[in-house]
């Protein structure tokens, strides 16, 4: 056992004494030491209840013959950081989460680990740590938030975001908004939409890194039971010697992107899955994503792309039922999972209970996937779009650029009535390096929808989008403006054409003019505080199209 490096031998007397001083018994040190990584905190609904999940995991580890040892990590709420300076930090925190787990697990020589998680950057950070450390590991999330209720109907996070525009337009009162705020988010769990938190937790099941049941509600007994079973399962993985890189193979990432397309997940997966693959020693060709999108139908549309909520997906049979359909259609690949069985075995008995929520293969929303990559002279290395959230009339668009150097200025202009039908809002210097931290542009996209411009205005940025985003929103433009990308050369009034179906993003300015503009271009000063983590992050981070990971050079 790895832990024997700290618990066995004459020279380890002080090590054992440290454990005994915390009330541990000698016989507990003879068992595998299992780290329970628990980022419970009071900053967000997704993590407020994780002590309950971690307690159930602990009970499972004990029941299966291990010794659980719990420690924490940081966890930022994208919702609270949204639309202000705080949004520079969530993506950057992903690397800190991964590094902190490495420090704790290797520093104390634990034998295995259970990663308790929930929200946007915490889940990918933990999966990155699992792949990097490659000791027996399994993930369990806190589960989706229940559906809200207000004004006699089901509501959620997305509806509340767009209500702000209704207030601005005089179609909703401040008192009604206050009532909405009280009802849209009814309790703990990952926010009730197909945002990054739920998307990444569902894709953890597609990767095979958690037990089936990722859609079980946060407030359910099923969720607690799943956590307990997870604690028991880590001991089985330990005994069998099954490690993350045995699970996180090429097939696993293929399956994750297939499920991503079928559920119309958050575009942030295009940052996180390549980053996890990087830690697993797998080089991901982004052309694979276009191939998968071309052959995978979009079978579910959860808010903000459709009218259903995560609870509806759970009632319909969950991710296992969806994967059963995809497996039967020959779209998924079979591989080992943390159940110690293969994907085909895991899903063989799963059934779809509501074909309106999980549509059959012959009646999809669209024949192609919910995410799209775009290329062109404005995005030579690519850009990303949640195609499932785009109304048909905006799948092709051509209009004049309205250029903003940061998110706040764009939001002010949208709510101020300065953006007209047909415009293309360009927000730049918000990429991984330029932000720094690649802020989400949920505020401007929600403003566009709220101001009634969702079917006539597009938004292009080297920043990224929340899973709550819908509309013709194109992000991750690479190379980013701060790295000298063409987005930094766009001028007010330039015509930009978008063809999402064809995967094209074109700045209608000739090469000679672009070369002339490049001669006078200079990188703007960093927005990071001198000596801060963000300043160091900006020096190390790579392109969005490589997962915004740290350079190893």
pLDDT confidence of 249, banded at 50, 70, 90?
A: very high
Strand ranges of the sheet holding 67-71, from the earlier edge strand across to the other edge: 67-71, 33-37, 112-117, 137-141
- Model pLDDT, residue 553: 77
Residue 169 in this model has a pLDDT that exceeds 90: no
Looking at residue 82, its pLDDT comes to 85
Q: State phi, psi for 543 to the nearest 5 degrees.
A: -65, 155
| Angle, CA of 306, 298 and 317, to the nearest 5° | 75
Question: Can you give the pLDDT at residue 393?
Answer: 93
Mean pLDDT, residues 404-416: 94
Considering the entire predicted model, what is its pTM? Answer: 0.94
pLDDT of 459 reads 97
DSSP state letter for 185:
S
Q: Which residue has the tokens 């799948």?
A: 395
Average pLDDT over residues 463-492: 92
Q: What is the distance, to the nearest Å, from the Cα of residue 463 to the centroid of all Cα atoms in its chain?
A: 14
pLDDT tens for 539-552 read 999 999 999 999 98
According to the model, what pLDDT value does residue 206 have?
A: 98
Query: Could you tell me how far CA 356 lies from the centroid of its own chain?
Result: 25
Provide the 10 A C-beta neighbour count for residue 124.
27
Please determine, for residue 62, whether its predicted confidence score (pLDDT) is greater than 80.
yes
Looking at 3, 100, 214, 466, which residue is catalytic?
Answer: 466
Question: What distance in Å separates the CA atoms of residue 77 and residue 43, rounded to the nearest whole number?
Answer: 7
pLDDT at residue 484 is higher than 90:
yes
Mean pLDDT of 349-371: 95
CB 528 within 8 A of CB 439: no
Report the C-alpha gap between 302 and 316 in whole angstroms.
Answer: 12
| pLDDT for the residue 166 | 86
Give pLDDT, residue 218.
98
What is the residue whose two structure tokens read 């949004």? Answer: 87
Provide CB contacts within 8 A for 228, sequence distance 6+: 56, 57, 59, 60, 63
The residue length of the chain stands at 553
* Residue 30 structure tokens: 């003879």
pLDDT per position as a tens digit, 114-129: 999 999 999 999 999 9
With contact defined as beta carbons under 8 Å apart, do 83 and 442 qualify? yes
Q: How confident is the model at residue 370 (pLDDT cuts 50, 70, 90)?
A: confident
| pLDDT recorded at residue 443 | 86
| Encoded tokens for 13 | 């007397």
Largest distance between two CA atoms of the chain? 76
The pLDDT tens digits of the residues spanning 138-165 come to 999 999 999 999 999 999 998 888 888 8
Q: Give the sign of the dihedral formed by CA 366, CA 368, CA 371, CA 375.
A: negative
Is a pLDDT exceeding 90 seen at residue 466?
no
Task: Give the span between the Cα atoms of 487 and 204, in whole angstroms.
Answer: 33
Q: State yes or no: pLDDT of 467 exceeds 80.
A: no
Q: How large is the angle between the packed helices 122-133 and 269-279, nearest 10 degrees?
A: 20
- pLDDT number for residue 221: 98
CB 375, CB 486: distance < 8 Å: no
Residue 181 has pLDDT above 90, yes or no: yes
In b/e form, how buried is each residue of 196-225, taking b as 16+ CB within 10 angstroms?
Answer: bbbbbbbbbbbbbbbbbbbbbbbbbeebbe
pLDDT, tens only, 63-107: 999 999 999 999 999 999 987 889 999 999 999 999 999 999 999
Closest CA to 372 of 261, 278, 479, 459: 261
What is the pLDDT, as a whole number, of residue 258? 97
- Is residue 466 annotated as part of the catalytic site, yes or no? yes
Q: Where are the alpha helices (DSSP H) in 441-510?
A: 442-450
- Confidence bin at 286 (pLDDT 50/70/90): confident
Residue tagged 């929103």 (tokens) = 473
Contact status, residue 34 vs residue 110, Cβ threshold 8 Å: yes
What's the rounded Cα separation, in Å, for the pair 444 and 473?
10
Is a pLDDT exceeding 80 seen at residue 469?
Answer: no
Q: How confident is the model at residue 217 (pLDDT cuts 50, 70, 90)?
A: very high
Question: H helices within 208-241, ranges in order?
Answer: 221-240
Mean of per-residue pLDDT scores for the chain: 95
């Amino acid at each position: 056992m790895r832990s024997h490096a700290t618990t066995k031998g004459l020279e380890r007397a002080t090590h054992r004494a440290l454990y005994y001083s915390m009330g541990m018994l000698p016989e507990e040190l003879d068992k595998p030491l299992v780290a329970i990584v628990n980022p419970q905190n009071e900053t967000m609904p997704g993590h407020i209840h994780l002590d309950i999940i971690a307690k159930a995991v602990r009970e499972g580890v004990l029941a299966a013959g291990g010794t659980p040892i719990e420690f924490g990590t940081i966890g930022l709420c994208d919702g609270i950081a949204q639309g202000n300076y705080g949004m520079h930090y969530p993506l950057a925190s992903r690397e800190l989460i991964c590094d902190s787990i490495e420090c704790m697990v290797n520093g104390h020589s634990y034998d295995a680990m259970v990663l308790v998680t929930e929200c946007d950057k915490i889940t990918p950070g933990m999966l990155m740590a699992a792949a990097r450390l490659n000791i027996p590991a399994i993930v369990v999330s806190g589960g989706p938030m229940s559906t809200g209720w207000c004004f006699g109907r089901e509501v959620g996070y997305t509806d509340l975001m767009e209500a702000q525009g209704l207030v601005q337009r005089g179609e909703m009162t401040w008192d009604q908004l206050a009532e909405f705020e009280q009802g849209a988010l009814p309790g703990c769990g990952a926010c009730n939409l197909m945002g990054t938190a739920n998307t990444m937790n569902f894709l953890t099941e597609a990767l095979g890194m958690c037990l089936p049941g990722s859609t079980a509600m946060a407030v359910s007994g099923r969720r607690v039971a799943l956590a307990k079973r997870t604690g028991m399962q880590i001991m089985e993985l330990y005994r069998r010697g099954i490690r993350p890189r045995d699970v996180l193979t090429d097939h696993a990432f293929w399956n994750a992107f297939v499920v991503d397309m079928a559920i119309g997940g958050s575009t942030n997966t295009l940052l996180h899955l390549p980053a996890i693959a990087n830690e697993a020693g797998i080089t991901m060709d982004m052309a694979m994503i276009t191939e998968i999108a071309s052959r995978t139908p979009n079978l579910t549309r959860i808010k903000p792309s459709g009218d259903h909520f995560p609870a509806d997906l759970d009632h319909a049979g969950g991710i296992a039922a969806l994967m059963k359909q995809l497996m039967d259609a020959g779209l998924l690949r079979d591989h080992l999972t943390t159940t110690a069985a293969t994907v085909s075995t895991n899903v063989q008995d799963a059934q779809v209970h509501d074909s309106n929520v999980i549509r059959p293969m012959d009646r999809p929303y669209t024949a192609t996937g919910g995410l799209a990559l775009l290329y062109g002279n404005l995005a030579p290395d690519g850009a990303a779009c949640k195609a499932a959230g785009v109304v048909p009339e905006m799948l092709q668009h051509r209009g004049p650029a309205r250029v903003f150097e940061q998110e706040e200025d764009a939001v002010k202009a949208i709510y101020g009535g300065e953006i007209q039908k047909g415009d293309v809002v360009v927000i730049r210097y918000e990429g991984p390096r330029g932000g720094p931290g690649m802020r989400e542009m949920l505020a401007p996209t929600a403003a566009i929808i709220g101001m009634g411009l969702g079917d006539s205005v597009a938004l292009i940025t080297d920043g990224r989008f929340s899973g709550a985003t819908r509309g013709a929103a194109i992000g991750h433009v690479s190379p980013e403006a701060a790295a000298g990308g063409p987005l930094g050369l766009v001028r007010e009034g330039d015509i930009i054409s978008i063809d999402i179906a064809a995967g094209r993003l074109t700045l209608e300015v000739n090469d000679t003019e672009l070369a002339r503009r490049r001669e006078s271009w200079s990188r703007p000063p960093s927005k990071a505080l001198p000596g801060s983590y963000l300043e160091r992050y900006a020096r190390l981070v790579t392109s969005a199209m490589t997962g915004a990971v740290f350079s190893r050079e």
